[in-house]
Structure 1
Amino acid sequence: MFDSQPASADLPPAPSSPAAALPQLPQPLPRTGQFAGRVAIVTGSESGIGRETARALCAAGAAVVLNGRQAERLELTRQQLAAAGYLVAACVADVTDYAACETLVATALREFGRLDILVANASISQRAYFADMQPDVFRQVLDSNVYGAVFPLKAALPHLLASRGSVTFISSISALNGMPSGSAYCAGKAALTNLAHTLRLELDGTGIHFGVVHIGFTQNDDDKRVLDAQGQPVPIAHRPPRWQKTQAEVAAIIVKHIRRRRQRTVISALGWLIAIVHTYAPRLGDWVVLTTMRRMRNFYE
């Protein structure tokens, strides 16, 4: 209890309440589910696949830190998941800024006291041929896909090592063989595969998991945009609906990949076909792509 005597001029003013004098304590973690007691960061989770991956991790018992650059949309997602009874926090952060990534990791530690899972999902895509792209646009797309994964991992690594945690890089089936009008995006996503392989070798024996998920064609939010050659946001190129998985289906596969600590997951039969053809018959794969460029230009443009 507080002393009822008036405060002395020699003493600092008393806090307005007992809670104001105490540091914030981490919230109790869920006790049920496959990921009970685990804490995850999902970058780019204000919308799309990231949002549904966060939802799926929450449903499996994890506490999740949401991330994005649009404060209003991020807060709306946080409110939706919290209203469903999930334990979530949110941090506005540009993951191509290392200091912002340190803040993101600090949010997980402050809110939940630990970090076990990192899903590096945030990225920018494109819809432009290389010859037409402005150099700064190429760099923006490449940075989002490479440094947007490297910087969160670098900030989180000491805590993931301590928890023998899991890191999953979200890549694309287009990284397996390349895709016209996607040079910077494909290059960035392909880099994640070699990054994961290198880290497995460097950190062998530490117990940390590094995996890559190659996403196939997925249904997008209606307002999903990619960058054109001048850096302006434009709708994503046409994808036949019958080739697309729902965001929830993709999220379920990502969570299964994390739970089984897989090194690589390729989503969809088309993805596996691309992987096999690229490995064993690359010239056939190139012929198929060149043929579709002539006959299905709207698939790329």
Structure 2
Amino acid sequence: MSEVGLAGSSGPFAGKVAIVTGSESGIGRETARLLCESGAAVVLNGRNAERLAQTRAALEAAGHAVASCVADVTDYAACEQLVSTAIDAFGWLDILVTNASISQRAYFADMQPAVFRQVMDSNVYGSVFPLKAALPHLIKSKGSVTFISSISALNGMPSGSAYCAGKAAVANLAHTLRLELAETGVHFGVVHIGFTQNDPEKRVLAANGQPVSIAHRPPRWQKSQAEVASIIVRHIQRRRQRTVISALGQLIVLVHTYFPRLGDWVVRTTMRRMRHFYE
């Protein structure tokens, strides 16, 4: 696909080229789909070649302009290849969404150090490396970067130490980059997602590194992947600095800012009375 191939696109992102990491499934897939439906050409990414190919085929069948790259975003050379895929396929790059990450379901005292590092690497370097590779192109286009964080980064969450730390790190990274690169015109934003419906096969890491299912979340607290993707895409379009998804997320911000002791009391109480919520 060349610049000519993008000329016929329509929508708020017409003529734009986006990379969405971790877009073979889940929120990343739905974000990529909505960007396509809004006129963008999208480079899909993931580590599972079969699942990535299925997602690409579905979007191509719907008439969208897509490319794909199997890449582990914690590997800088792989991220360079990911960015090269976008440039080779579409000619330039306007949008980067760093969505790929690994989560956990394990208390800090039980975690093997290598597992803690694996979760941290996926959340920190999994955002830093794609951005580092893409930055020259984004500066040229005065483009947009959106880091996908979590409401658990706003105040921490038991059984999520490495995940919370990593997600908080990228939020602070975005703030620093806004200061350092203010003159470039590049947008740096963060979306703190809340509890979201997951694909049935989604797994997180236990303390020993084994994949396990996600901790119980009441369905009434969860947004659909399409709802979350819609909020992410609107955030990109408006070039917002921070978006906190869900009423729970907004409540966490309020309590953490003005009533931090109350917030900690609520968490400790739920740990005693609703332990399955974390485990």
Residue 70 of structure 1 is matched in structure 2 by 48
Do structure 1's residue 143 and structure 2's residue 115 form an aligned pair?
no
CA contact (8 A) 1:96 1:151 kept: yes
Do structure 1's residue 239 and structure 2's residue 209 form an aligned pair?
no
1:193 Cα offset (Å): 1.0
Percent identity, please.
Answer: 80
Superposed CA deviations along residues 133-175 of structure 1, whole A, max 9, x for unmatched, are 0000000000000000000000000000000000000000000
| 202, 225, 228: which one aligns with 2:180 | 202
Structure showing greater radius of gyration is 1
Do structure 1's residue 299 and structure 2's residue 277 form an aligned pair?
yes
**Using the alignment, how far apart are the partners of 1:252 and 1:88 within structure 2?**
19
1:31 Cα offset (Å): 2.8
**Using the alignment, how far apart are the partners of 1:268 and 1:26 within structure 2?**
38
CA contact (8 A) 1:171 1:212 kept: yes
**Using the alignment, how far apart are the partners of 1:28 and 1:116 within structure 2?**
16
CA contact (8 A) 1:126 1:185 kept: yes
SS at match of 1:171: strand
Residue 103 of structure 1 is matched in structure 2 by 81
1:26 Cα offset (Å): 5.7
Q: What TM-score do you get using the length of structure 1 for normalisation?
A: 0.91
1:27 Cα offset (Å): 6.1
Bigger helix share: 2
Superposed CA deviations along residues 6-32 of structure 1, whole A, max 9, x for unmatched, are xxxxxxxxxxxxxxxxxx856611431
Unpaired runs of 5+ in structure 1?
1-23
CA contact (8 A) 1:26 1:109 kept: no
SS at match of 1:168: strand
CA contact (8 A) 1:175 1:189 kept: yes
CA contact (8 A) 1:66 1:74 kept: yes
**Using the alignment, how far apart are the partners of 1:44 and 1:254 within structure 2?**
14
Do structure 1's residue 180 and structure 2's residue 158 form an aligned pair?
yes
CA contact (8 A) 2:103 2:204 kept: yes
Residue 28 of structure 1 is matched in structure 2 by 5
Unpaired runs of 5+ in structure 2?
none
Residue 37 of structure 2 is matched in structure 1 by 59
| 219, 230, 239: which one aligns with 1:252 | 230
**Using the alignment, how far apart are the partners of 1:27 and 1:75 within structure 2?**
24
| 246, 250, 255: which one aligns with 1:277 | 255
**Using the alignment, how far apart are the partners of 2:2 and 2:42 within structure 1?**
16
| 41, 49, 65: which one aligns with 2:19 | 41
CA contact (8 A) 1:26 1:110 kept: no
Superposed CA deviations along residues 81-110 of structure 1, whole A, max 9, x for unmatched, are 111111101000000000000000000000
RMSD: 0.9
CA contact (8 A) 1:26 1:111 kept: no
| 289, 295, 298: which one aligns with 2:267 | 289
Runs of 4+ in 1 over 4 A off after TM superposition: 24-27
SS at match of 1:205: helix
| 79, 82, 103: which one aligns with 1:125 | 103
**Using the alignment, how far apart are the partners of 1:31 and 1:42 within structure 2?**
19
